[in-house]
Structures are given as structure tokens and as C-alpha cells.
């Protein structure tokens, strides 16, 4: 699929974004470990979350679609079945890492694989603590790369684990494994990362407490199925927010967006740059804060993005890099080396594609230095990365001519309706096969 984008006079109207991808993964996984039925509204239809559902079904979980709702009949903490075939996580690192945590407490053998991109992504950081908890795990290249073979255990060892770097996925895998541990599992964060797993487990009734970045979980405590309403994904909303800020004369209302404080770094950074964003009608859905976002076009200035803020905007760096191209002065992104092992090397990809659009950008080992200026339309590519594809589409809205984004079908991973939502707001986006 190819996206063809031309500049717009303004974007106006209101919209919704897909259900939060991170929360959807966790609702399905925790719901499958509960006893009884879990009913989920607004589950993400993206390819990544569908992979999680397919893997759970292969493990014996009954999943039903009813009137737009997702119903999961839980298997309890360790009632899963050994799969007959490989578990395929597709492009989803979240599926692979969190599923390894769940499987640590299951007394059978399984193999998890993924697409070529996922098979290049290192998994050592999640494998190491799970081996300490009693799982037998084997992988390629010094036990780091998928496919991954795992045999779980009935006797999961509780651990006290200090996360070497902020990682919600590693933390979540340890906590899911800890649900089957005899005793207390403790995870210590040096910097906080997104806390959807902790909130979800608490909402389901798990014995989990948090104090001063120390998370304590008592294992072997059954949890009960719940009713879940998934907020809109702020990482998807980020592309619409940036587009509304960048295209002159724009005003867009994005409804029902999750504003978990570990995820609102995108709002903080855009405001630092000078963006006008109002957070309206704040409320709570199953332990997650939700609001409507009113975004207006604004003049931006360059900023520095680094720790401790960086972990809260890691997924949003591609769209923030595009915002930086329209900002006055330089934007410096640091402490983002982890972006080199995402769906692609996002730092290299961003530098390569933005240069095609006449952006002055310097690539660092852990980030980028971007100088604001006029974008020129170009033929660019997504590198098979959904966030790259959407970020480049937003760049096309402020470039001088028609921008063509190749290999844009990857958008389906997180935001299948992105072109239609943008067109409804007034964007000139055309999809070609």
C-alpha cells in the first residue's frame, strides 16, 4: 500500500482513535488468567493485538466476539493447554515478551516466533529474569533472539529484580510470571515506565502494591473476570495531535483518549514546544484516566528531549521528530538508543527519510539533532514500521508538494483506519495499492 499526501489549509472536527494497544494486550492476557468471563469494550483491532488473541486461543482460551465486545473465558492462573503448533507473535514484541511471562507459570513446552522483524529484536532482557524464576528458555544468538523455546514450571520462584533500564514489557513479564510464584515477587524501577499492567492486575483483584517505584506482588492469589472499557490509544492520537498543531488554522477534538501519566509525555513535549492542547472532561475507566483532547495549530520552538522524560515518549519519537522539523531552532533527542532495536532502527530510519524531505538532521548514537525548516515533498518509505509510516504522512501535510509513502500497509499494526480518520478531518490523503 502507498499513501499519497498533499499539504492542507486546515484540519477541523472531532474523532476517536483505536483502543489503546498496550491496554488491550494486557486486558486479554490478564483476563485469560482470571476465573470466569472478562468482557472488553473497544479492544484494539490492530494486527498486534490480534496476534495476542490468536496465541491465547492456541493455549486453550475461548474467545468470543459479541456485538462488538470481546468476551474471554478465563483459564485461571495455570489452566492453559500446551499448544499443538508454534505460537506466532507476528510483529508484536509486546505479545512475545508478555506471553513469555504467562508461560513461565505453565508446566508445558511451547515455542514462540514472529515475523522477520521481530526475530531480529533482542529478548535477553526478558529471558534473564524469567530464567531466574524457574523457566527453561532457549533462543538463538547467545539466548537472545527468537524463535524462543520455553518450558514453564508449577514452582515459579519469587524474585526481587532491579530493572537495569526502564521497560514496561520486561516488568510486565515478571509480574505475569509472579502471579504463579509461591511468595512475593518484587520489581524495582530506577525510572518509572508505563504502568498499565499494574493497574490492570489491581483492577482484577491481584494482591499488588506500589510504593516509591517498588512493585510487590503476592503470587498464587486467584483473580476474577471483569468488565473492561479500553480508552483510546494516546500513541495513535499523537499523530492527529501533531497534525493539528502543525497545519495552520487547525482545531481538532480527540475523544476518549487514555491519559495515563506514564504515557502523556507526548502532551508535555508538544506543550514544551509551544503547542496549545487542552485536556477536557477527565474521568476514569477501570483504573485508567481518560479525557478529551482539544488541539489547535501553534508555532513551535526546538527543545531537548532526554531522560527522565524520554521513557514517556519513546514510541512517539517518530512524530516528535516530524514536529521538530517545523519548530524554530534545534530539537535534540538523547537517551533513545533503544529505538535502534524497535520494529526497525528508528533513529537511522528517521534520519534517512527526513533528509529526503530536505531536513537538516544529525544522527547520534542515542538520538537525533533536528533543525527546523521548510519540508520538501519526496518519495519516502516506512521501513515496514507503522509509526514511521504515519509520522511521514503527517510530514507530508506540511511539505511543499505531494509526498508518497511506500510500504504503508504496516499502519494496520496499530491504526488501520488512520487514512480514513485523517481524511474525515480534512487531510488530503490518498491510498493506492
Could you read off the pLDDT of 253-296 as tens digits, one per residue? 999 999 999 999 999 999 999 999 999 999 999 999 999 999 99
The reply to whether 21-229 shares the fold of 2-19+231-432 is yes
Is pLDDT of 365 > 90?
yes
> What pLDDT does residue 67 have?
83
CATH number of 2-19+231-432: 3.65.10.10
The residues, any chain, with a CB within 8 Å of residue 157's CB and separated by 6 or more, are 132, 133, 134, 181
CA distance 101 to 182: 15
Domain ranges of the chain: 2-19+231-432, 21-229
Is pLDDT of 68 > 90?
no
CA distances from 109 to 22, 114, 312 (A): 26, 17, 35
Is pLDDT of 200 > 80?
yes
CA distance 69 to 78: 25
> What pLDDT does residue 143 have?
92
Residue of 8, 195, 233, 315 marked catalytic: 315
In the chain, the percentage of residues whose pLDDT exceeds 90 is 95
Extract long-range pairs of 128-131: CB within 8 Å, 24+ residues apart: 129/159, 129/161, 129/170, 129/173, 129/174, 130/100, 130/101, 130/104, 130/173, 130/174, 130/177
CATH class entry, domain 21-229: alpha beta
What would the pLDDT profile of 34-64 be if each residue is shown by its tens digit? 999 999 999 999 999 999 999 999 999 999 9
> What pLDDT does residue 260 have?
97
Is pLDDT of 8 > 80?
no
Is 115 catalytic? The answer is no
* C-alpha grid cell, residue 122: 533482542
Amino acid at each position: 500500500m502507498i499513501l499519497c499526501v498533499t499539504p492542507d489549509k486546515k484540519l477541523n472536527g472531532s474523532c476517536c482513535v483505536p483502543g489503546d494497544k498496550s491496554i488491550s494486550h494486557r486486558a486479554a492476557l490478564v483476563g485469560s488468567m482470571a476465573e470466569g468471563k472478562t468482557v472488553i469494550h473497544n479492544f484494539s483491532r490492530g494486527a498486534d493485538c490480534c496476534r495476542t488473541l490468536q496465541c491465547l486461543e492456541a493455549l486453550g482460551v475461548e474467545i468470543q466476539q459479541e456485538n462488538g465486545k470481546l468476551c474471554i473465558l478465563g483459564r485461571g492462573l495455570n489452566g492453559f493447554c500446551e499448544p499443538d503448533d508454534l505460537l506466532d507473535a507476528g510483529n508484536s514484541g509486546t505479545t512475545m515478551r508478555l506471553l513469555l511471562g504467562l508461560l513461565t507459570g505453565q508446566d508445558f513446552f511451547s515455542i514462540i516466533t514472529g515475523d522477520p522483524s521481530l526475530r531480529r529484536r533482542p529478548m535477553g532482557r526478558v529471558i534473564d529474569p524469567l530464567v531466574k524464576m524457574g523457566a527453561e528458555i532457549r533462543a538463538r544468538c547467545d539466548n537472545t533472539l527468537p524463535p524462543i523455546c520455553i518450558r514453564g514450571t508449577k514452582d515459579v520462584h519469587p524474585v526481587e529484580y532491579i530493572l537495569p533500564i526502564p521497560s514496561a514489557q520486561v516488568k510486565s513479564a515478571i509480574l505475569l510470571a509472579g502471579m504463579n510464584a509461591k511468595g512475593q515477587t518484587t520489581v524495582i524501577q530506577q525510572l518509572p515506565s508505563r504502568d498499565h499492567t499494574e493497574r490492570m492486575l489491581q483492577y482484577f483483584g491481584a494482591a499488588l502494591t506500589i510504593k516509591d517505584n517498588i512493585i510487590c506482588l503476592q503470587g498464587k492469589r486467584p483473580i476474577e473476570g471483569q468488565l473492561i472499557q479500553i480508552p483510546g490509544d494516546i500513541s495513535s492520537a499523537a499523530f492527529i495531535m501533531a497534525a493539528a498543531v502543525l497545519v495552520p488554522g487547525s482545531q481538532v477534538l480527540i475523544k476518549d483518549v487514555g491519559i495515563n501519566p506514564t504515557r502523556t509525555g507526548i502532551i508535555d513535549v508538544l506543550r514544551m514546544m509551544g503547542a496549545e492542547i487542552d485536556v477536557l472532561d477527565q474521568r476514569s475507566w477501570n483504573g485508567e484516566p481518560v479525557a478529551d483532547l482539544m488541539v489547535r495549530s501553534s508555532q513551535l520552538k526546538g527543545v531537548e528531549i532526554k531522560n527522565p522524560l524520554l521513557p514517556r515518549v519513546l514510541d512517539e519519537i517518530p512524530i516528535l521528530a516530524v514536529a521538530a522539523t517545523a519548530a524554530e531552532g534545534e530539537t535534540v533527542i538523547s537517551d533513545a538508543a533503544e529505538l535502534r532495536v524497535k520494529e526497525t532502527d528508528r533513529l537511522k530510519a528517521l534520519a534517512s527519510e527526513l533528509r529526503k524531505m530536505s531536513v537538516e538532521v544529525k544522527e547520534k548514537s542515542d538520538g537525533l539533532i533536528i533543525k527546523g525548516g521548510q519540508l520538501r515533498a519526496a518519495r519516502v518509505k516506512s521501513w515496514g514500521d507503522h509509526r514511521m509510516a504515519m509520522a511521514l504522512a503527517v510530514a507530508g501535510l506540511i511539505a511543499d508538494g505531494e509526498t508518497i509513502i511506500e510500504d504503508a500497509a504496516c499502519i494496520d499494526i496499530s491504526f488501520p483506519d488512520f487514512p480514513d480518520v485523517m481524511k474525515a478531518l480534512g487531510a488530503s490523503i490518498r491510498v493506492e495499492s
